[in-house]
Structure 1
Amino acid sequence: MDKEQSKKSVLQRLGTIKGHIVGIEKMVEENKNCEDILFQLNAVMGAMNKLSAHILEGCTQVCLDEVNDPICRQRIEVLTKTMITMLKK
C-alpha cells in the first residue's frame, strides 16, 4: 500500500471511530443504560487497537525496506507480528 492509500485508510478508520464517539455522546445525553454504553466503548477501543496495528504495520514495513541484515529483519518482522496480534485482541 502506498503512502497516500495508507493515509486515506487511516483517515477513514478515524472517521468511523469519530462516528462511534458521537454516538456514545448521544447515548450518554439520552441516559441510555450503562451496558449499552460500555459495549460501544469496547467497540471504539477495538477500532483504536486495529488502527494502531494498521499504522504499526505500515511504519514497520517502511523501516524494514532499509534493513539489510536478514537476521535483524526477521526479528523485527516477528516482533511486529506479535505486537499486531496483541493489539487486535
Structure 2
Amino acid sequence: MGKTAEHMNPIEQKKMCCVEEGEDPNAYMPDELQRNLMNRMSRIEGQVKGVKRMIDRNVYCDDILTQMSAVQSALHSVSRLLLESHINTCVMDRLENKDPEIVEEFMTTISKMIK
C-alpha cells in the first residue's frame, strides 16, 4: 500500500503532486504532458540548429533575427504550457494541503520567468 501525502517527505509530495492517478508516482508530470513538452523541445532544438547553420553560412542578419525570435516564441510557449500545468496540479495541490512554502517558491519561479 502506498504512502498518503501526510506520511511523505516534501520531496515525495512534490513528485506526487503533478502526476495523475495510475501513473508513475516518482514522476513529476503526466506522461502526455512530458511527451508534448519533449516534442516541442525537439522542434525548438531543430530551429536552434537551423539558426546556427544560418550564422555559419553568413545569412542576412535580419533573417537570422527573425528565426531567433521564432525560437524565443516557441520557448515561451513551452514555458507557458508547463507553467499552466504546474499551477493546475502542483501549486493547487500544495495550496489545498496548506503548504506554506508553495507561495514563496511560486513567486520565485514567476520572478525568474519575467526577467
TM over 0.5: same fold? yes
- Number of residues paired by the alignment? 72
Q: CA deviation at 1:67?
A: 3.8
| TM-score, scaled to structure 2 | 0.56
Q: Indicate which of 63, 70, 75 corresponds to 1:43.
A: 70
Q: Which has the higher helix share?
A: 1
The yes-or-no answer on 1:64 pairing with 2:83 is no
Could you list the runs of 5+ residues in structure 2 that have no partner in the other structure? 1-19, 21-29, 97-102, 104-109
Name the CA distance, whole Å, in 2 between partners of 1:59 and 1:41: 27
Could you list the runs of 5+ residues in structure 1 that have no partner in the other structure? 69-75, 77-82
Identity percentage over the alignment? Answer: 26
Higher RCO (C-alpha 8 Å, min separation 6): 1
Q: Deviations over 1:29-72 (max 9, x none)?
A: 1100000000000000000100000010111111224544xxxx
For the aligned residues, what is the CA RMSD?
2.3
Q: CA deviation at 1:18?
A: 0.2
Name the CA distance, whole Å, in 1 between partners of 2:94 and 2:68: 38
Residue identity opposite 1:23 in structure 2: G
Residue identity opposite 1:6 in structure 2: L
- The match for 2:47 is 20
Residue identity opposite 1:45 in structure 2: Q
